[in-house]
Structure formats: C-alpha cells, structure tokens
Amino acid sequence: MALTNFKRVLQFASVNFFRNKGTSVAAIFILMITTLLVTSLFLLHGMSNFLVTTLQNKIDITAYFKSEASEESILVIRDEILKNSPDIKNIQYVSKEDALKDFIEKNKDNEVFSKALSEVGGNPFLPALNITTSGNPAQYQQISTILEEDKYKDFIEKVDFSQKKDTIEKVFSITSNVNKFGIGLGLILILVAISVVFNTIKLVVDHSRDEISTMRIVGASNWFLRAPFILEGVLFGLVSFFTSFFITIFLVYAASGGVGLMMPGFNLSSYFISHLWLVILIQLACGVGLAVISSYIAVRKYLEI
C-alpha cells in the first residue's frame, strides 16, 4: 500500500514537473545559479585564505639588536618572548653575518647596492629577530610593547613595528571583509532562491486547485496532498545539483591554469578535489535543501488557506 501511494505521489510530481515546464525551468535555473555562486564563493574563500596566509607569512616585525649584543643574550630574549607570546607562529634569529650574506645574494646583480656596500666597508648590518604571528594587529602590538620594555633597552636598537603597522592592519582588514562579504552575498542568494522556488510551487499548487479539491473529497490525507509538490521541489533540486556539479568540474579544470599563473603555489584543481565532499554537501544544500524547504513552506501555507 505504501509503495503504491509513493508511486502515485511520484507520478503526480512528474506530471506537474513536465506540465509546468516554464516555471520548472525558471526554478531550476535560479537554484542552479545560486548553487554555482555559493560554490564559487567557497572556492574564492579558499583562494583568498591562501593569499592572506601567504601575505601574513611574509609580514613580520623585526627587532634589531645593538651591534655589541651577544648571540647568547639575543637567544635568551627570544625564549622570553616566546614564553610571553603564545600566538607567535615563527621567530627567527638572523645574525650580522647571515644578514650580510642574504643582502649580497639578493643584490648580486645590482651594481649600485654592491658599490654602496663596498664604500661603507665592513658589515653595516645588525643582528635581529624576525617575528611572525597569525596576523592580528593586536598580537603584533603586544609583541612590540614587550620588546620596548625597559629591561631590553640595553640590547635592542629599534623595533620596526610602526613602519609595518598599516600594512599589517590592512591585511587583517582584508581577511575580515572578505569573510563578511561572502557570508552576506551567500545569505542574499539563499533568500532569492527560496523566494523563487516558493512562488513557483505556489503557482503549481494554484494550477492544481481542481485536482487538490477532488483528492480532498475522496479523503486524501494532508501528506498525500503535500507530497507531490514537495517531491517536485526535490526534482528541481536534483536537476540543479547535477547540472551545477558538472558545470563546476568543467569550470574548475578550465580555470586552474590561469589561477595557477596568477597565484603561484595555489592549485585550484587540487583544492577542489581535496574539498570534493564539502562541495557536494554545499551544492546539495543549495539545490535540494533549499528546494525542499521552499516547497514545504509553500504547500503548508496553501493548505492552511
């Protein structure tokens, strides 16, 4: 009996789906666009996180020590900073000799810098600690404050936090704004999709008014009345999901080469594959999930009238 009822419900849903081709195509199109855009936001979020992380790893504050400061004293200060600042991701000691070697290597083809270094004579560089945190400006400010304490004045020549403060704050602001924009746009798209599917199902229900009245007269249950329209929403969602999924695969592999050139080190195809199940869940939620919720709300509201 249950199987028979399910077959009838599926038949009604299929008839409505193909009978109202225009509204069905419109609902599927909106769901597909929403699914693709939300998926794009997810992939863009991964790309932006990669960029921001790369920038954060390159941004540091440097504490330059006086020329006479011993390596032992600098390493003791390094350990104290690590102990008092658990948010530090990396702290690197750079000796005077290493700083000179690094400068010569980076500027070996620059005659102006090479000539200037020769004229200065000796080693003009100071030993230093390069410090990197998670990128939060407050963390860098905390470390800078620690380095400026009186007990370190005899060892530290200067701290370059003030020169890099604006850059650090801008990078952190970009991260925050990208996340807020993605969430805001995603919510707008979801509301648009729900509205379109809701009105589509409402229109289908209105067109089936006579059939619903007849089924009520013969004693059809509320479940039997609602199920075809909810199942029709499932069909909308499934079609939009499969269409969106294959389009996403095509676009990801088509765009991977260009993204790799613009963002060396980031492989869009690998990122997509490593997050494949999450992408599938997102697209199912946007396609089938939104369609079912919208259909249920529309049918429930109609039956209450």
Q: What is the pLDDT of residue 90?
A: 79
Structural domain count, the chain: 2
Residue 219 has pLDDT above 60, yes or no: no
Residues 41 and 87 both lie in one domain: no
Looking at the fold, whether 33 and 179 belong to one and the same domain comes out as: yes
Q: Is the pLDDT of residue 250 over 90?
A: yes
Give the pLDDT confidence score for residue 244 in this predicted structure. Answer: 92
> Which of 128, 143, 163 is the endpoint of a domain?
163
Least confident of 103-117, 150-164, 174-188: 103-117
Are 116 and 208 part of one and the same domain? Answer: no
Q: Cα 2 vs. chain centroid, distance in angstroms? A: 44
Range of the domain at 151: 60-163
Distance (Å, rounded) from C-alpha 139 to C-alpha 125?
A: 27
Q: For residue 273, what pLDDT is reported?
A: 92
Domain boundary among 134, 163, 192: 163
Q: Residue 181's pLDDT is what?
A: 78
Q: Are residues 300 and 189 in the same domain?
A: yes
Residues 178 and 298 in one domain: yes
Do 51 and 176 share a domain, yes or no?
yes
Per-residue model confidence as pLDDT tens digits over 85-98: 767 777 888 888 88
**What is the amino acid identity at position 283?**
Q
Higher-confidence position of 299 and 63: 63
DSSP output for 201-225: HHHHHHHTHHHHHHHHHTT--HHHH
User: Are 155 and 283 in the same domain?
Assistant: no
Q: Find the mean pLDDT for residues 269-286.
A: 91
Q: What is the DSSP string of 230-279?
A: HHHHHHHHHHHHHHHHHHHHHHHHHHHHHHHHHSTT--HHHHHHHTHHHH
The predicted model gives 160-171 an average pLDDT of: 64
Whether residue 72 contacts residue 188, with contact meaning beta carbons closer than 8 Å, is answered with: no
What is the rounded distance in angstroms from the CA atom of residue 257 to the CA atom of residue 252? 9
Cα radius of gyration (the chain): 31
pTM higher than 0.85: no
* Residue 152 to residue 251: CA distance in whole angstroms: 55
Q: Are residues 50 and 66 in the same domain?
A: no
68/198 same-domain check: no
Q: Which tokens in the block code for residue 254?
A: 């088509």
What's the whole-number mean pLDDT along residues 207-212? 60
Neighbours of 66 (CB within 10 A): 15
Same domain, 218 and 134: no
Q: What pLDDT, on the 0 to 100 scale, is given for residue 305?
A: 45
Average pLDDT over residues 222-242: 78
In the predicted model, is pLDDT for residue 57 greater than 50? yes
Predicted pLDDT of residue 249: 93
Domain boundary among 163, 192, 216: 163
What single string gives the DSSP state of each residue in 53-77? HHHHHH--EEEEEPTT--HHHHHHH
Q: Is a pLDDT exceeding 80 seen at residue 268?
A: yes
Q: Which of 158, 159, 142, 178 is nearest to 45 (CA)?
A: 178
Burial bucket for residue 101 (CB in 10 Å: 0-12, 13-18, 19+): middle
Whether residues 44 and 92 fall in one domain: no
Higher pLDDT, 139 or 260: 260
- Provide the pLDDT for residue 113: 64
What is the residue-averaged pLDDT of the chain? Answer: 76
CATH number, domain with residue 65:
3.30.70.3040
Confirm if 62 and 126 have CB atoms less than 8 A apart.
no
Distances, alpha carbon 20 to alpha carbons 77, 186, 240, 273, in Å: 74, 28, 16, 37
